[in-house]
Amino acid sequence: MRSRPKVALLIEMSNAYARGLLRGIVQFVREQQPPWSVQLVEQGRGDAPPEWLSSWKGDGIIARIENHRIAKAVTMTGLPAVDVSAARTVPNIPWVETDDREIARLAFEHFYERGFRNYAYCGDSQFNWSTWRRDHFSAVLANAELKPFIHDVSHTGKTDPGDRRQQRLAKWLKDLPKPAGILVCYDILARELLDVCRATGVAVPEEVAVMGVDDDELLCNLSSPPLTSVQLDTHQTGYHAASLLADLMSGQTVSEETHLVKPLGIATRQSTDILAIEDSDVAAAVRYIRENACDGINVSDVLKHVPCTRRVLEQRFGKILGRSPHHEIIRVKIDRVKQLLLETDLPISVVADRSGFLHVEYLSVVFKRETGQTPARFRNNQGE
């Protein structure tokens, strides 16, 4: 019988992102024969490495290498290792991380399609992933000839009292041109920003729409108002890291380059649930489409809810959103299809019905035209 590979997991369990990584690793482990023998200890983010690691007789390590102490300890074992931290302190081992460029793109599109033309980013530059998200968000905006208003909470320093940090956030919010869409580097800081908005009387989402990253469902729903957040595919990140480690432990050569995993999408909640559109007719039409597109409506139905002709509405849509009312209906329906394909195992026929397509064949034609893939392939590729 083959011996069970012994693998150490140096991953904290205190936040949703890390727990998602562990779920992905667990799935991979369950699929192995023989299954791995896993060493998992109570670990906080950035903690010192466990003392037992230096004498541990194992076969491989998956670690969130957050500092040089952990980096040195992992390197000194001489064992195959995969890094799942953005700190990137050990450059010569495989590294699996989220695709921050895609996070920035999704956030921009989410705000843009709601009519926002003022954008802001709130981050913490002590973390690489926050800096990367800021830079990618700035680049996406630059392509649209726009520029974000940036605030970095790390500038206050760790020794500053909490009220001073919140005072700086409050001043930054006050000076922002409004309405503005704000991307915040992660959910915990986004929740803090919402608290500051509430304390200073800044209306969310009417004056500022706030979006976090991680989609920690419990944290987002405890926020006031509930927080919109980018859904990271932590499960796939953990699974892919485990797959790379399995290859390393079997003697295969694995690329030391960055392995990026795209986010799943955006979980929309009340903190961005608004249209920043000054044209009241277009705003009403868009709102009606988003609430009813999957019920099989067409442009004629939309015109019953706005006091203008089809030609006028299409002209205003094109000027403000860059697309027609018909394409907005299709876009909303396709987004619903993507969600059902990724989050459920429903048959394609049921997906078609629940997203407002009368026939599976028509869904397949439209979906391939809009995405370049069939619905089945999109589901099999997990949205890639």
Domains of the chain: 6-97+234-260 (3.40.50.2300), 100-233+266-272 (3.40.50.2300), 280-380 (1.10.10.60)
pLDDT at residue 383 in the model: 55
Q: Name the pairing type of β-strands 265-267 and 228-231.
A: antiparallel
pTM of structure: 0.74
pLDDT at residue 260 in the model: 93
Contact residues for 53 (Cβ-Cβ < 8 A; gap 6+): 8, 10, 73, 74, 77
For residue 36, give the nearest of 235, 234, 237, 241 by alpha carbon.
241
pLDDT at residue 160 in the model: 56
Estimate to the nearest angstrom the gap between the alpha carbon of 50 and the chain centroid: 31
Q: Which residues of the chain have pLDDT under 50?
A: 1, 159
AA letter at 250: S
C-beta of residue 92 within 8 angstroms of C-beta of residue 112: no
C-beta of residue 63 within 8 angstroms of C-beta of residue 56: no
pLDDT at residue 91 in the model: 83
For residue 270, give the nearest of 320, 199, 174, 203 by alpha carbon.
203
CA–CA distance, 304 with 292 (Å, rounded to integer): 13
For residue 60, give the nearest of 2, 22, 1, 4 by alpha carbon.
4
Question: Which residue in the block uniquely carries the two structure tokens 């489409």?
Answer: 289
pLDDT at residue 162 in the model: 60
User: Is 280 exposed, middle or buried (CB count within 10 Å of its CB: 0-12, 13-18, 19+)?
Assistant: exposed
